[in-house]
Structure 1
Amino acid sequence: MLVSTSVLSRAIFGITGVESLATSVFWCKFRWLIGPAGGLISITCICFAAIDRYLITSRQVNRHRWFTPRRAQYIIVIVVFVWFMTSLPNVFLYTFPSCSVTNAIYSQYLTFYNISTYSVFPLIILPIFSYLTWNNLRGGVMAGIGQNRLQSQVTRMMFAQFGLVFGASVPNMVLQSYLAATRNIAKTPLRVAQDGIVSCVLTMISFAPHAMVFYVYLAVSATYRENVRTVLFSCLPIINRVTPLNEQPLQRMTKTGTN
Protein backbone atom coordinates (compact mmCIF):
# COMPACT_ATOMS: atom_id res chain seq x y z
CA MET A 1 0.00 0.00 0.00
CA LEU A 2 2.83 2.38 0.85
CA VAL A 3 4.68 1.66 -2.40
CA SER A 4 1.51 1.88 -4.50
CA THR A 5 0.25 5.19 -3.12
CA SER A 6 3.66 6.87 -2.92
CA VAL A 7 5.30 5.68 -6.12
CA LEU A 8 2.14 6.07 -8.19
CA SER A 9 1.84 9.78 -7.42
CA ARG A 10 5.53 10.30 -8.23
CA ALA A 11 5.14 8.33 -11.47
CA ILE A 12 2.13 10.41 -12.52
CA PHE A 13 4.07 13.61 -11.83
CA GLY A 14 7.09 12.34 -13.78
CA ILE A 15 5.02 11.35 -16.83
CA THR A 16 2.43 14.13 -17.00
CA GLY A 17 4.00 16.92 -14.96
CA VAL A 18 0.80 17.07 -12.91
CA GLU A 19 1.10 16.82 -9.14
CA SER A 20 -1.84 14.54 -8.33
CA LEU A 21 -1.62 15.29 -4.60
CA ALA A 22 -2.19 18.99 -5.30
CA THR A 23 -5.06 18.50 -7.75
CA SER A 24 -7.22 15.95 -5.94
CA VAL A 25 -8.43 16.29 -2.37
CA PHE A 26 -9.35 12.61 -2.28
CA TRP A 27 -5.95 11.43 -3.50
CA CYS A 28 -4.15 13.70 -1.01
CA LYS A 29 -6.15 12.37 1.95
CA PHE A 30 -6.04 8.79 0.67
CA ARG A 31 -2.27 8.83 0.18
CA TRP A 32 -1.52 10.09 3.70
CA LEU A 33 -3.94 7.63 5.29
CA ILE A 34 -3.13 4.44 3.35
CA GLY A 35 0.57 5.08 2.75
CA PRO A 36 1.84 5.42 6.35
CA ALA A 37 -0.55 2.75 7.65
CA GLY A 38 0.51 0.29 4.94
CA GLY A 39 4.19 0.90 5.60
CA LEU A 40 3.84 0.36 9.33
CA ILE A 41 1.73 -2.79 8.83
CA SER A 42 4.48 -4.18 6.60
CA ILE A 43 7.27 -3.36 9.07
CA THR A 44 5.26 -4.79 11.98
CA CYS A 45 4.62 -8.05 10.12
CA ILE A 46 8.35 -8.38 9.43
CA CYS A 47 9.06 -7.93 13.14
CA PHE A 48 6.35 -10.44 14.12
CA ALA A 49 7.87 -12.93 11.68
CA ALA A 50 11.21 -12.55 13.48
CA ILE A 51 9.48 -13.16 16.83
CA ASP A 52 7.69 -16.20 15.38
CA ARG A 53 11.00 -17.71 14.20
CA TYR A 54 12.37 -17.37 17.72
CA LEU A 55 9.31 -19.02 19.29
CA ILE A 56 9.39 -21.94 16.83
CA THR A 57 13.05 -22.64 17.56
CA SER A 58 12.76 -22.08 21.32
CA ARG A 59 13.96 -24.77 23.73
CA GLN A 60 10.64 -24.52 25.56
CA VAL A 61 8.12 -26.53 23.55
CA ASN A 62 5.11 -24.65 24.93
CA ARG A 63 6.33 -21.51 23.15
CA HIS A 64 5.89 -23.24 19.80
CA ARG A 65 2.13 -22.89 20.19
CA TRP A 66 2.10 -19.19 21.12
CA PHE A 67 1.61 -18.07 17.51
CA THR A 68 -1.20 -20.27 16.21
CA PRO A 69 -2.81 -19.40 12.84
CA ARG A 70 -5.92 -18.13 14.63
CA ARG A 71 -3.91 -15.91 17.00
CA ALA A 72 -1.88 -14.63 14.08
CA GLN A 73 -5.09 -13.57 12.33
CA TYR A 74 -6.28 -11.73 15.42
CA ILE A 75 -2.91 -10.02 15.81
CA ILE A 76 -2.93 -8.88 12.18
CA VAL A 77 -6.44 -7.43 12.58
CA ILE A 78 -5.33 -5.54 15.70
CA VAL A 79 -2.17 -4.28 13.96
CA VAL A 80 -4.15 -3.04 10.96
CA PHE A 81 -6.66 -1.28 13.21
CA VAL A 82 -4.00 0.38 15.39
CA TRP A 83 -1.90 1.71 12.52
CA PHE A 84 -4.92 2.99 10.63
CA MET A 85 -6.09 4.81 13.75
CA THR A 86 -2.67 6.41 14.23
CA SER A 87 -2.70 7.55 10.58
CA LEU A 88 -6.25 8.89 10.73
CA PRO A 89 -5.24 12.41 11.92
CA ASN A 90 -3.39 12.83 8.61
CA VAL A 91 -6.76 13.00 6.86
CA PHE A 92 -7.62 16.16 8.76
CA LEU A 93 -4.22 17.80 9.19
CA TYR A 94 -2.82 17.48 5.65
CA THR A 95 -4.26 20.60 4.04
CA PHE A 96 -5.20 21.11 0.41
CA PRO A 97 -3.96 22.19 -2.13
CA SER A 98 -0.39 21.96 -0.81
CA CYS A 99 -1.13 18.50 0.65
CA SER A 100 1.24 19.19 3.52
CA VAL A 101 1.06 19.72 7.25
CA THR A 102 0.82 23.37 8.26
CA ASN A 103 0.42 22.73 11.98
CA ALA A 104 3.89 23.16 13.50
CA ILE A 105 3.20 20.96 16.53
CA TYR A 106 1.84 18.07 14.46
CA SER A 107 4.70 18.42 11.99
CA GLN A 108 7.21 18.05 14.82
CA TYR A 109 5.24 15.10 16.18
CA LEU A 110 5.36 13.38 12.77
CA THR A 111 9.14 13.67 12.70
CA PHE A 112 9.63 11.80 15.97
CA TYR A 113 6.79 9.42 15.12
CA ASN A 114 8.37 8.44 11.79
CA ILE A 115 11.82 8.01 13.30
CA SER A 116 10.45 5.84 16.11
CA THR A 117 8.17 3.60 14.05
CA TYR A 118 10.07 3.25 10.76
CA SER A 119 13.63 3.21 12.12
CA VAL A 120 14.07 2.69 15.87
CA PHE A 121 11.32 0.08 16.30
CA PRO A 122 12.55 -2.41 13.64
CA LEU A 123 16.22 -1.78 14.44
CA ILE A 124 15.57 -2.93 18.02
CA ILE A 125 13.20 -5.86 17.40
CA LEU A 126 14.95 -7.52 14.45
CA PRO A 127 18.50 -7.78 15.86
CA ILE A 128 17.29 -9.07 19.24
CA PHE A 129 15.04 -11.84 17.93
CA SER A 130 17.35 -12.72 15.05
CA TYR A 131 20.16 -13.29 17.55
CA LEU A 132 17.87 -15.34 19.83
CA THR A 133 16.79 -17.48 16.88
CA TRP A 134 20.37 -18.01 15.77
CA ASN A 135 21.31 -18.94 19.35
CA ASN A 136 18.49 -21.52 19.47
CA LEU A 137 19.61 -23.08 16.20
CA ARG A 138 23.23 -23.13 17.28
CA GLY A 139 22.20 -24.82 20.54
CA GLY A 140 20.90 -27.84 18.68
CA VAL A 141 17.19 -27.32 19.29
CA MET A 142 16.37 -28.51 15.77
CA ALA A 143 18.69 -31.52 15.82
CA GLY A 144 17.65 -34.49 13.74
CA ILE A 145 16.08 -32.56 10.85
CA GLY A 146 19.12 -31.25 9.03
CA GLN A 147 20.30 -28.82 11.69
CA ASN A 148 23.36 -27.51 9.85
CA ARG A 149 21.48 -26.88 6.60
CA LEU A 150 18.53 -25.32 8.42
CA GLN A 151 20.80 -23.09 10.49
CA SER A 152 22.63 -21.94 7.38
CA GLN A 153 19.41 -21.16 5.50
CA VAL A 154 17.75 -19.29 8.36
CA THR A 155 20.94 -17.39 9.23
CA ARG A 156 21.35 -16.14 5.66
CA MET A 157 17.71 -15.08 5.48
CA MET A 158 17.89 -13.26 8.83
CA PHE A 159 21.10 -11.41 7.95
CA ALA A 160 19.73 -10.47 4.52
CA GLN A 161 16.48 -9.22 6.00
CA PHE A 162 18.21 -7.21 8.71
CA GLY A 163 20.63 -5.75 6.18
CA LEU A 164 17.73 -4.66 4.01
CA VAL A 165 15.83 -3.07 6.90
CA PHE A 166 18.99 -1.46 8.30
CA GLY A 167 19.93 -0.05 4.90
CA ALA A 168 16.48 1.49 4.56
CA SER A 169 15.86 2.61 8.15
CA VAL A 170 19.10 4.50 8.75
CA PRO A 171 18.72 6.78 5.68
CA ASN A 172 15.13 7.47 6.73
CA MET A 173 16.32 8.39 10.23
CA VAL A 174 18.97 10.72 8.81
CA LEU A 175 16.48 12.32 6.43
CA GLN A 176 13.83 12.92 9.09
CA SER A 177 16.42 14.35 11.51
CA TYR A 178 17.82 16.68 8.85
CA LEU A 179 14.39 17.93 7.80
CA ALA A 180 13.49 18.60 11.43
CA ALA A 181 16.75 20.45 12.11
CA THR A 182 16.49 22.66 9.00
CA ARG A 183 12.74 23.26 8.99
CA ASN A 184 13.04 26.87 10.21
CA ILE A 185 16.22 27.74 8.30
CA ALA A 186 16.00 30.01 5.24
CA LYS A 187 17.29 28.15 2.17
CA THR A 188 18.39 29.30 -1.24
CA PRO A 189 16.59 27.89 -4.31
CA LEU A 190 19.67 25.80 -5.07
CA ARG A 191 19.68 24.23 -1.63
CA VAL A 192 15.94 23.58 -1.81
CA ALA A 193 16.50 21.73 -5.09
CA GLN A 194 19.41 19.77 -3.63
CA ASP A 195 17.37 18.84 -0.56
CA GLY A 196 14.52 17.76 -2.81
CA ILE A 197 16.75 15.40 -4.80
CA VAL A 198 18.32 13.88 -1.68
CA SER A 199 14.91 13.54 -0.04
CA CYS A 200 13.50 11.78 -3.10
CA VAL A 201 16.41 9.31 -3.28
CA LEU A 202 16.36 8.48 0.44
CA THR A 203 12.57 8.14 0.41
CA MET A 204 12.75 5.64 -2.44
CA ILE A 205 15.41 3.69 -0.53
CA SER A 206 13.13 3.58 2.51
CA PHE A 207 10.57 1.67 0.41
CA ALA A 208 12.99 -1.27 0.03
CA PRO A 209 11.76 -3.41 2.98
CA HIS A 210 8.20 -3.18 1.69
CA ALA A 211 9.02 -4.17 -1.89
CA MET A 212 12.17 -6.32 -1.82
CA VAL A 213 11.92 -8.81 1.07
CA PHE A 214 10.52 -11.49 -1.25
CA TYR A 215 13.36 -11.02 -3.76
CA VAL A 216 16.00 -11.03 -1.02
CA TYR A 217 14.70 -14.33 0.35
CA LEU A 218 14.62 -15.67 -3.20
CA ALA A 219 18.26 -14.74 -3.72
CA VAL A 220 19.75 -16.10 -0.49
CA SER A 221 17.72 -19.25 0.21
CA ALA A 222 17.68 -22.34 -2.02
CA THR A 223 14.85 -23.83 0.04
CA TYR A 224 12.76 -20.70 -0.42
CA ARG A 225 13.39 -20.78 -4.18
CA GLU A 226 12.32 -24.42 -4.30
CA ASN A 227 9.14 -23.65 -2.36
CA VAL A 228 8.30 -20.75 -4.67
CA ARG A 229 8.94 -22.94 -7.71
CA THR A 230 6.67 -25.63 -6.28
CA VAL A 231 3.87 -23.15 -5.65
CA LEU A 232 4.18 -21.62 -9.12
CA PHE A 233 4.16 -24.98 -10.90
CA SER A 234 1.25 -26.19 -8.79
CA CYS A 235 -0.81 -23.33 -10.22
CA LEU A 236 -0.14 -24.41 -13.81
CA PRO A 237 -2.67 -26.73 -15.48
CA ILE A 238 -1.51 -30.34 -15.69
CA ILE A 239 -1.86 -31.62 -19.25
CA ASN A 240 -2.25 -35.40 -19.50
CA ARG A 241 -2.22 -36.96 -22.95
CA VAL A 242 -4.95 -39.58 -23.30
CA THR A 243 -4.58 -42.09 -26.11
CA PRO A 244 -7.80 -42.34 -28.15
CA LEU A 245 -9.49 -45.74 -28.14
CA ASN A 246 -9.29 -46.10 -31.91
CA GLU A 247 -5.48 -45.89 -31.79
CA GLN A 248 -5.03 -48.72 -29.29
CA PRO A 249 -5.87 -51.65 -31.64
CA LEU A 250 -3.55 -50.18 -34.28
CA GLN A 251 -0.70 -50.00 -31.76
CA ARG A 252 -1.31 -53.61 -30.70
CA MET A 253 -1.41 -54.76 -34.34
CA THR A 254 1.83 -52.93 -35.06
CA LYS A 255 3.57 -54.58 -32.12
CA THR A 256 2.21 -58.01 -33.16
CA GLY A 257 3.39 -57.56 -36.75
CA THR A 258 6.84 -56.56 -35.55
CA ASN A 259 7.15 -59.63 -33.38
Structure 2
Amino acid sequence: MSNTTISSEILDLQLASRMIFSYAVLVFIAFGTVGNLLNIFVFIRIKVLRQMPNSVFLLTSFIASLVQIWTTRFSAAFHNLTGVDLLKQSSFYCEIRWLFGRTGATISMASICLSSINRFLMTSQNVRYRQVVTMRCARMTVIVMILIFLIPLIPDIVYYSGPGCTPTGSPYWYRQYTMYFNQIFSNIVPGPVLAIFGILTWRNLRSVRVIQRNRLEEQVNRMILAELVMICITAIPTIIGAIYPLVTVSITKSQLRVAQDSLWLNILAIPGITTYCASFYVFYAASSAYRKNVRTALSCKKHNRIETQDYTQQQNALIPMKTIALRG
Protein backbone atom coordinates (compact mmCIF):
# COMPACT_ATOMS: atom_id res chain seq x y z
CA MET A 1 0.00 0.00 0.00
CA SER A 2 1.46 3.36 -1.05
CA ASN A 3 2.05 6.24 1.32
CA THR A 4 -0.55 8.31 -0.54
CA THR A 5 -3.18 5.65 -0.06
CA ILE A 6 -2.33 5.30 3.61
CA SER A 7 -2.49 9.07 4.13
CA SER A 8 -5.87 9.21 2.38
CA GLU A 9 -7.19 6.37 4.56
CA ILE A 10 -5.96 8.11 7.70
CA LEU A 11 -7.74 11.34 6.73
CA ASP A 12 -10.96 9.45 5.95
CA LEU A 13 -10.82 7.66 9.30
CA GLN A 14 -10.21 10.89 11.18
CA LEU A 15 -13.08 12.63 9.40
CA ALA A 16 -15.47 9.72 10.00
CA SER A 17 -14.45 9.57 13.65
CA ARG A 18 -15.11 13.28 14.18
CA MET A 19 -18.42 13.36 12.31
CA ILE A 20 -19.94 10.23 13.83
CA PHE A 21 -19.01 11.19 17.36
CA SER A 22 -19.90 14.88 17.07
CA TYR A 23 -23.36 14.48 15.56
CA ALA A 24 -24.21 11.70 18.01
CA VAL A 25 -23.05 13.86 20.92
CA LEU A 26 -25.13 16.85 19.82
CA VAL A 27 -28.24 14.69 19.58
CA PHE A 28 -27.60 13.24 23.04
CA ILE A 29 -26.92 16.71 24.47
CA ALA A 30 -30.25 18.00 23.16
CA PHE A 31 -32.24 15.07 24.57
CA GLY A 32 -30.14 14.93 27.74
CA THR A 33 -30.60 18.61 28.53
CA VAL A 34 -34.36 18.39 28.17
CA GLY A 35 -34.53 15.13 30.11
CA ASN A 36 -32.34 16.23 33.02
CA LEU A 37 -34.16 19.56 33.34
CA LEU A 38 -37.50 17.74 33.39
CA ASN A 39 -36.20 15.35 36.05
CA ILE A 40 -35.03 18.26 38.20
CA PHE A 41 -38.37 20.05 37.76
CA VAL A 42 -40.41 16.97 38.64
CA PHE A 43 -38.36 16.04 41.69
CA ILE A 44 -38.52 19.59 43.03
CA ARG A 45 -42.18 20.27 42.25
CA ILE A 46 -43.64 17.03 43.65
CA LYS A 47 -43.46 17.39 47.43
CA VAL A 48 -43.35 13.67 48.20
CA LEU A 49 -40.43 13.22 45.84
CA ARG A 50 -38.34 16.08 47.17
CA GLN A 51 -38.81 14.84 50.74
CA MET A 52 -37.22 11.47 49.98
CA PRO A 53 -33.51 10.99 50.82
CA ASN A 54 -33.06 9.19 47.52
CA SER A 55 -34.07 12.35 45.69
CA VAL A 56 -30.99 14.13 47.05
CA PHE A 57 -28.75 11.62 45.27
CA LEU A 58 -30.77 11.71 42.07
CA LEU A 59 -30.97 15.51 41.91
CA THR A 60 -27.21 15.61 42.37
CA SER A 61 -26.77 13.17 39.49
CA PHE A 62 -29.08 15.20 37.21
CA ILE A 63 -27.20 18.44 37.86
CA ALA A 64 -23.79 16.76 37.52
CA SER A 65 -24.91 15.17 34.24
CA LEU A 66 -25.85 18.57 32.83
CA VAL A 67 -22.48 19.96 33.88
CA GLN A 68 -20.68 17.02 32.32
CA ILE A 69 -22.35 17.09 28.90
CA TRP A 70 -22.08 20.87 28.52
CA THR A 71 -18.50 21.25 29.71
CA THR A 72 -16.92 18.15 28.18
CA ARG A 73 -19.10 16.85 25.38
CA PHE A 74 -20.33 20.08 23.83
CA SER A 75 -16.93 21.75 23.51
CA ALA A 76 -15.45 18.65 21.82
CA ALA A 77 -18.37 18.25 19.39
CA PHE A 78 -18.41 21.96 18.53
CA HIS A 79 -14.68 21.91 17.80
CA ASN A 80 -14.93 18.83 15.58
CA LEU A 81 -17.77 20.27 13.50
CA THR A 82 -16.72 23.91 13.18
CA GLY A 83 -12.97 23.89 13.77
CA VAL A 84 -13.45 26.53 16.49
CA ASP A 85 -11.99 25.53 19.84
CA LEU A 86 -14.12 27.20 22.50
CA LEU A 87 -11.59 26.23 25.15
CA LYS A 88 -8.92 28.34 23.48
CA GLN A 89 -11.29 31.28 23.19
CA SER A 90 -11.77 31.54 26.94
CA SER A 91 -9.33 30.56 29.68
CA PHE A 92 -12.21 30.55 32.16
CA TYR A 93 -14.19 28.05 30.09
CA CYS A 94 -11.00 25.99 29.74
CA GLU A 95 -10.59 25.75 33.51
CA ILE A 96 -14.28 25.00 34.00
CA ARG A 97 -14.14 22.27 31.38
CA TRP A 98 -11.23 20.39 32.95
CA LEU A 99 -12.21 20.83 36.58
CA PHE A 100 -15.98 20.39 36.43
CA GLY A 101 -15.94 18.18 33.35
CA ARG A 102 -13.99 15.54 35.21
CA THR A 103 -15.84 15.94 38.51
CA GLY A 104 -19.21 16.11 36.74
CA ALA A 105 -18.74 12.59 35.42
CA THR A 106 -17.49 11.11 38.70
CA ILE A 107 -20.10 12.88 40.85
CA SER A 108 -22.92 11.84 38.54
CA MET A 109 -21.90 8.17 38.61
CA ALA A 110 -21.19 8.21 42.36
CA SER A 111 -24.64 9.72 43.00
CA ILE A 112 -26.31 6.98 40.97
CA CYS A 113 -24.37 4.36 42.93
CA LEU A 114 -25.44 5.94 46.22
CA SER A 115 -29.03 5.95 44.98
CA SER A 116 -28.88 2.24 44.14
CA ILE A 117 -27.36 1.44 47.56
CA ASN A 118 -30.08 3.46 49.26
CA ARG A 119 -32.79 1.57 47.37
CA PHE A 120 -31.24 -1.70 48.48
CA LEU A 121 -31.46 -0.51 52.09
CA MET A 122 -35.02 0.78 51.65
CA THR A 123 -36.28 -2.56 50.33
CA SER A 124 -34.69 -4.57 53.13
CA GLN A 125 -36.95 -6.31 55.63
CA ASN A 126 -34.64 -5.09 58.38
CA VAL A 127 -36.15 -1.90 59.83
CA ARG A 128 -32.73 -0.59 60.87
CA TYR A 129 -31.49 -0.75 57.29
CA ARG A 130 -34.49 1.25 56.08
CA GLN A 131 -33.74 3.95 58.63
CA VAL A 132 -30.03 4.33 57.85
CA VAL A 133 -30.34 7.06 55.22
CA THR A 134 -32.23 10.17 56.36
CA MET A 135 -32.52 13.52 54.58
CA ARG A 136 -29.75 14.95 56.74
CA CYS A 137 -27.55 11.91 56.11
CA ALA A 138 -28.17 12.12 52.35
CA ARG A 139 -27.27 15.82 52.21
CA MET A 140 -24.09 15.34 54.23
CA THR A 141 -23.10 12.35 52.09
CA VAL A 142 -23.48 14.40 48.91
CA ILE A 143 -21.40 17.26 50.32
CA VAL A 144 -18.60 14.92 51.40
CA MET A 145 -18.71 13.11 48.07
CA ILE A 146 -18.39 16.37 46.11
CA LEU A 147 -15.40 17.43 48.20
CA ILE A 148 -13.73 14.04 47.76
CA PHE A 149 -13.98 14.23 43.97
CA LEU A 150 -13.41 17.97 43.61
CA ILE A 151 -10.41 18.67 45.85
CA PRO A 152 -7.94 16.23 44.18
CA LEU A 153 -8.57 17.88 40.79
CA ILE A 154 -8.26 21.52 41.86
CA PRO A 155 -4.72 21.68 40.33
CA ASP A 156 -6.46 21.63 36.93
CA ILE A 157 -7.24 25.32 37.49
CA VAL A 158 -3.50 26.02 37.59
CA TYR A 159 -2.28 23.60 34.95
CA TYR A 160 -4.94 24.52 32.36
CA SER A 161 -4.63 28.27 32.68
CA GLY A 162 -2.63 28.84 29.50
CA PRO A 163 -4.06 30.44 26.32
CA GLY A 164 -3.92 27.14 24.43
CA CYS A 165 -5.91 25.22 27.08
CA THR A 166 -3.09 22.73 27.42
CA PRO A 167 -1.58 21.49 30.70
CA THR A 168 1.29 23.94 31.13
CA GLY A 169 3.81 22.67 33.63
CA SER A 170 1.77 19.70 34.81
CA PRO A 171 4.04 16.85 35.90
CA TYR A 172 3.78 13.43 34.27
CA TRP A 173 2.57 11.79 37.48
CA TYR A 174 -0.36 14.22 37.69
CA ARG A 175 -1.46 13.50 34.11
CA GLN A 176 -1.33 9.78 34.81
CA TYR A 177 -3.14 10.26 38.11
CA THR A 178 -6.02 12.21 36.56
CA MET A 179 -6.35 9.70 33.72
CA TYR A 180 -6.63 6.73 36.08
CA PHE A 181 -8.78 8.67 38.55
CA ASN A 182 -11.30 9.61 35.90
CA GLN A 183 -11.46 6.21 34.21
CA ILE A 184 -11.77 4.23 37.42
CA PHE A 185 -14.47 6.31 39.14
CA SER A 186 -16.41 7.29 36.02
CA ASN A 187 -16.34 4.10 33.97
CA ILE A 188 -14.92 1.02 35.66
CA VAL A 189 -16.32 1.03 39.20
CA PRO A 190 -19.95 2.21 38.71
CA GLY A 191 -21.07 -0.60 36.39
CA PRO A 192 -20.37 -3.50 38.78
CA VAL A 193 -21.68 -1.52 41.77
CA LEU A 194 -24.98 -0.77 40.04
CA ALA A 195 -25.33 -4.36 38.82
CA ILE A 196 -24.64 -5.84 42.27
CA PHE A 197 -27.02 -3.58 44.18
CA GLY A 198 -29.64 -3.84 41.45
CA ILE A 199 -29.63 -7.62 41.85
CA LEU A 200 -29.67 -7.34 45.65
CA THR A 201 -32.63 -4.96 45.46
CA TRP A 202 -34.42 -7.39 43.18
CA ARG A 203 -33.86 -10.18 45.72
CA ASN A 204 -35.22 -7.97 48.49
CA LEU A 205 -38.36 -7.27 46.50
CA ARG A 206 -38.87 -10.94 45.74
CA SER A 207 -38.67 -11.79 49.43
CA VAL A 208 -41.13 -9.11 50.61
CA ARG A 209 -44.28 -10.60 52.11
CA VAL A 210 -47.08 -8.09 51.61
CA ILE A 211 -50.64 -9.05 50.74
CA GLN A 212 -51.46 -6.14 48.41
CA ARG A 213 -48.25 -5.55 46.56
CA ASN A 214 -48.92 -6.39 42.91
CA ARG A 215 -49.10 -2.89 41.43
CA LEU A 216 -46.17 -1.55 43.42
CA GLU A 217 -43.97 -4.58 42.73
CA GLU A 218 -44.79 -4.37 39.03
CA GLN A 219 -43.63 -0.75 38.88
CA VAL A 220 -40.42 -1.47 40.77
CA ASN A 221 -39.62 -4.56 38.74
CA ARG A 222 -40.02 -2.64 35.49
CA MET A 223 -37.67 0.07 36.68
CA ILE A 224 -35.04 -2.41 37.85
CA LEU A 225 -35.22 -4.33 34.58
CA ALA A 226 -34.84 -1.08 32.64
CA GLU A 227 -31.79 -0.16 34.71
CA LEU A 228 -30.16 -3.56 34.26
CA VAL A 229 -30.73 -3.34 30.50
CA MET A 230 -29.12 0.09 30.42
CA ILE A 231 -26.14 -1.20 32.38
CA CYS A 232 -25.68 -4.10 29.96
CA ILE A 233 -25.91 -1.79 26.94
CA THR A 234 -23.66 1.03 28.14
CA ALA A 235 -21.25 -0.51 30.64
CA ILE A 236 -19.56 -3.05 28.36
CA PRO A 237 -18.45 -0.67 25.55
CA THR A 238 -17.61 2.01 28.12
CA ILE A 239 -15.38 -0.33 30.12
CA ILE A 240 -13.68 -1.58 26.96
CA GLY A 241 -13.08 1.98 25.84
CA ALA A 242 -11.66 2.87 29.25
CA ILE A 243 -9.35 -0.13 29.61
CA TYR A 244 -7.97 -0.22 26.07
CA PRO A 245 -5.96 3.06 26.25
CA LEU A 246 -4.54 2.02 29.64
CA VAL A 247 -3.43 -1.35 28.33
CA THR A 248 -1.91 0.00 25.12
CA VAL A 249 -0.34 3.17 26.53
CA SER A 250 3.19 1.75 26.19
CA ILE A 251 2.70 0.44 22.63
CA THR A 252 4.23 2.39 19.75
CA LYS A 253 1.50 2.93 17.15
CA SER A 254 1.58 4.05 13.55
CA GLN A 255 -0.55 6.97 12.42
CA LEU A 256 -2.94 4.55 10.71
CA ARG A 257 -3.30 2.52 13.91
CA VAL A 258 -3.93 5.69 15.91
CA ALA A 259 -6.66 6.77 13.46
CA GLN A 260 -8.29 3.33 13.59
CA ASP A 261 -8.19 3.27 17.39
CA SER A 262 -9.65 6.76 17.56
CA LEU A 263 -12.59 5.75 15.36
CA TRP A 264 -13.45 2.69 17.41
CA LEU A 265 -12.94 4.43 20.76
CA ASN A 266 -15.29 7.21 19.69
CA ILE A 267 -17.90 4.66 18.62
CA LEU A 268 -17.50 2.84 21.94
CA ALA A 269 -17.85 6.13 23.81
CA ILE A 270 -21.23 6.96 22.29
CA PRO A 271 -23.31 4.45 24.33
CA GLY A 272 -21.65 5.71 27.51
CA ILE A 273 -23.08 9.19 26.94
CA THR A 274 -26.58 7.80 27.50
CA THR A 275 -25.70 7.45 31.18
CA TYR A 276 -25.82 11.24 31.47
CA CYS A 277 -28.71 11.80 29.07
CA ALA A 278 -31.26 8.99 29.22
CA SER A 279 -32.42 8.79 32.84
CA PHE A 280 -35.66 10.72 32.27
CA TYR A 281 -36.64 8.57 29.30
CA VAL A 282 -35.86 5.34 31.17
CA PHE A 283 -37.90 6.49 34.17
CA TYR A 284 -40.76 7.60 31.95
CA ALA A 285 -40.86 4.40 29.92
CA ALA A 286 -40.48 2.03 32.86
CA SER A 287 -42.89 3.48 35.40
CA SER A 288 -46.51 4.54 34.97
CA ALA A 289 -46.29 6.19 38.39
CA TYR A 290 -43.47 8.42 37.18
CA ARG A 291 -45.42 9.29 34.04
CA LYS A 292 -48.28 10.46 36.27
CA ASN A 293 -45.87 12.53 38.32
CA VAL A 294 -44.48 14.16 35.18
CA ARG A 295 -47.97 15.08 33.99
CA THR A 296 -48.82 16.37 37.46
CA ALA A 297 -45.65 18.46 37.69
CA LEU A 298 -46.22 20.00 34.26
CA SER A 299 -49.85 20.83 35.04
CA CYS A 300 -50.90 24.05 36.75
CA LYS A 301 -52.60 22.20 39.57
CA LYS A 302 -50.91 21.89 42.92
CA HIS A 303 -50.25 18.28 43.77
CA ASN A 304 -48.06 17.21 46.66
CA ARG A 305 -48.53 13.50 46.97
CA ILE A 306 -48.23 10.32 44.98
CA GLU A 307 -51.30 8.15 44.71
CA THR A 308 -50.99 5.56 47.42
CA GLN A 309 -54.59 4.81 48.36
CA ASP A 310 -54.37 1.32 46.90
CA TYR A 311 -51.57 0.29 49.25
CA THR A 312 -51.61 -0.75 52.88
CA GLN A 313 -49.76 1.06 55.64
CA GLN A 314 -47.24 -1.78 55.67
CA GLN A 315 -46.12 -0.76 52.18
CA ASN A 316 -45.16 2.79 53.12
CA ALA A 317 -41.53 1.84 53.64
CA LEU A 318 -41.40 0.80 49.98
CA ILE A 319 -43.19 3.82 48.46
CA PRO A 320 -39.92 5.55 47.45
CA MET A 321 -39.29 2.65 45.09
CA LYS A 322 -42.45 3.51 43.22
CA THR A 323 -41.14 6.77 41.86
CA ILE A 324 -37.37 6.39 41.73
CA ALA A 325 -35.76 4.35 38.99
CA LEU A 326 -32.28 2.93 38.82
CA ARG A 327 -29.91 4.51 36.27
CA GLY A 328 -27.17 3.27 34.43
Common fold by TM > 0.5: yes
Find the counterpart in structure 1 of residue 207 from structure 2: 139
**Per the alignment, do residues 165 and 83 of structure 1 end up closer, same or farther by CA in structure 2, a change over 3 Å counting?**
farther
Give the TM-score, by structure 1 length: 0.78
Alignment gaps of 5+ in structure 2: 1-66, 303-328
Find the counterpart in structure 2 of residue 40 from structure 1: 106
**2:166 maps to 1:99:** yes
What's the CA shift string for 1:159-186, capped at 9, x where partnerless? 3223324433332322232222333444
**Per the alignment, do residues 31 and 114 of structure 1 end up closer, same or farther by CA in structure 2, a change over 3 Å counting?**
same
Tell which deviates more after alignment, 156-165 or 225-234.
Answer: 156-165
Find the counterpart in structure 2 of residue 181 from structure 1: 247
Task: Indicate if the aligned counterparts of 1:93 and 1:103 stay in contact, CA closer than 8 A.
Answer: no
Shift of 1:71: 1.7
Shift of 1:46: 1.0
Alignment of 1:213-228 (within 5 A): 213-228=279-294
Shift of 1:235: 6.1
SS of 2:267's partner is helix
SS of 2:208's partner is coil
Shift of 1:37: 0.9
Find the counterpart in structure 1 of residue 119 from structure 2: 53
SS of 2:299's partner is helix
Alignment gaps of 5+ in structure 1: 237-259
Shift of 1:216: 0.9
Which has the bigger relative contact order, CA under 8 A and spacing at least 6? 2
**2:197 maps to 1:197:** no
Give the TM-score, by structure 2 length: 0.63
> C-alpha separation between the residues in 2 aligned to 1:154 and 1:72?
22
Structure with greater Cα Rg: 1
Tell which deviates more after alignment, 74-83 or 100-109.
Answer: 100-109
> C-alpha separation between the residues in 1 aligned to 2:114 and 2:131?
14
- Residues matched between the structures, number: 234
Alignment of 1:45-124 (within 5 A): 45-94=111-160, 96=162, 97=164, 99=166, 103-124=171-192
Find the counterpart in structure 2 of residue 253 from structure 1: none
Find the counterpart in structure 2 of residue 150 from structure 1: 216
